[in-house]
Structure 1
Amino acid sequence: MTAPTSALEPWPETVDWRPVSRNLIWVELIQYGIFMIFVFGGLGIGWALTGHWLFGLALALSVVQAVWRVIVIFRAVKAWGYAERDNDLLVRHGLLVRRLSIVPYARMQFVDVTAGPLERAFGLATVQLHTAAAASDAKVPGLPPEEASRLRDRLTALGEDRAEGL
C-alpha cells in the first residue's frame, strides 16, 4: 500500500508516469485549426459584407484566443499521463484543473481502442476504459497503436482476473 498523498497534489510523484505521444499535439492543433478556419471565415465574411466594427473586434479577439489555445494545447498534451499499478490504472490530465482518475482493474467492464482518420495519419490511438459508473470512465489518448493494443490486452486480462475474485 502506498502512502496517502495530499488532495491538493493530485499527481503523486511516487508513481512512474508514462507520457502520451507528442504527436497528439499535431492532432489537436489540426483539429482546432480546422474549427478556427470556419470561425475566422464567418467573421471575415460578416465584416466584409457589413463593415460593422463588431465583426472586426470579434475577429481580433478570436485571433488572440486562438494563440492562447495553441499555447494551452502544447501544455495540455504534456500534462497527459498514465500509470499501471498492481490493482488499478491511474490517468492524469489537466492544467488549471488537474484530474486524476483511478480505475480499479476489477471495476472495468470493457476497454475500447479507437483511432480516427487524423489519429491514424499520425500513428496514434486512444484507449477508453468503461466501468459501471460512467463518471469513472477514463481515456488515454495519443498512444502508438502497439502500446494501445498492449494496454488494452493487459487491462482486459487484469480486469478478468480481478473480477473473478469479487
Structure 2
Amino acid sequence: METGTTGGAGRPDWVGLPGGLLALRRLLLVIWTVPLAAGTALLLGLTAGPAWAAAGAFWLVLPAWGWVLLGRNWRSWRYAERADDLLISRGVLWREQTVVPYGRMQLVEVTSGPLERRFGLASVQLHTAAAASDAKIPGLVPAEAERLRDRLTELGEARSAGL
C-alpha cells in the first residue's frame, strides 16, 4: 500500500489486520471455555447426579457464539495513513473511528507480549498529549508494526517541528 493516499472519491485506503490476531483470540476462547465446561459437568455430575452433568454443555455454546463474534470484531479493525493523520476504525455495533494527527503524537511504541510473539504479532500504541486520545492497533505483523512506528515517528517529528 502506498501511504498517504486515498481511494476512489477521496476515501482513504484502509488496511485490515492479519489473521494471526483472530487465531490467537479464538484459541484463548477455547482454552478458557472447554475446561470450564468440563469442570462444570464434573462438579454437577458428582454433586447433583449424572443428568445434571449435561448442564456443563452450556459452556460449549459460548465458544460457538464467541467464534462468530470474534470474527466480526476482527474484520471491523482497520487503519489508514493519510497525508496529515492516521485513522483507526473498529467496532461492529458501536463503530468507533479515531483520528490521530501526526503533529500531536508524542510517543509511538511497538509492544508484543508472550502470546503475541508466539503468533508472530505486535501492537502499535500511539500516545498523544491528551491521555483519552491514545490509540492502539493490535495484531500487526512485527515488520509492519515497526514500519508503521518508524513512519509515524518521522511524520510526527516533521509535523511538530512546524508548530
What's the TM-score, normalizing by structure 2? 0.83
- Go from structure 1 to structure 2 and tell me whether the alpha carbon gap of 1:148 and 1:38 turns closer, same or farther (over 3 Å shift): same
* Matching of residue 105 in structure 1 with residue 102 in structure 2: yes
Q: Offset at 1:13?
A: 8.2
* Aligned twin of 2:6: none
* Aligned twin of 1:9: none
* Aligned twin of 1:8: none
Distance (whole Å) between structure 2 residues aligned to residue 49 and residue 111 of structure 1: 53
Q: 1:72 aligns with which of 58, 69, 74?
A: 69
CA contact (8 A) 2:34 2:60 kept: no
Q: Matched residues, percent identical?
A: 47
Q: 2:119 aligns with which of 119, 122, 125?
A: 122
Q: Offset at 1:106?
A: 1.4
Q: Offset at 1:104?
A: 1.0
Instruction: List runs of 5+ in structure 1 lacking aligned partners.
Output: 1-11
Instruction: List runs of 5+ in structure 2 lacking aligned partners.
Output: 1-8
Secondary structure of 1:123's counterpart equals: coil
Q: Offset at 1:154?
A: 0.7
Distance (whole Å) between structure 2 residues aligned to residue 131 and residue 154 of structure 1: 16
1:87-122 residue CA offsets vs partner (Å, 9 max, x unmatched): 110011111111111111111111111112222222
1:20-67 residue CA offsets vs partner (Å, 9 max, x unmatched): 10121111111222222342244223312322777754x343222221
* Matching of residue 96 in structure 1 with residue 107 in structure 2: no
Q: Offset at 1:150?
A: 0.4
Distance (whole Å) between structure 2 residues aligned to residue 38 and residue 134 of structure 1: 38
- Go from structure 1 to structure 2 and tell me whether the alpha carbon gap of 1:76 and 1:32 turns closer, same or farther (over 3 Å shift): same
CA contact (8 A) 1:43 1:56 kept: no
- Of the structure 1 ranges 34-43 and 19-28, higher mean CA displacement relative to structure 2 is found in 34-43
State how 1:50-65 maps to structure 2 within 5 Å.
50-51=47-48, 56-57=54-55, 59-65=56-62
- Go from structure 1 to structure 2 and tell me whether the alpha carbon gap of 1:72 and 1:50 turns closer, same or farther (over 3 Å shift): same
What's the TM-score, normalizing by structure 1? 0.82
Root mean square deviation of aligned Cα: 2.2
Q: 2:27 aligns with which of 26, 30, 33?
A: 30
Name the count of aligned residue pairs: 154
Q: 1:81 aligns with which of 57, 63, 78?
A: 78
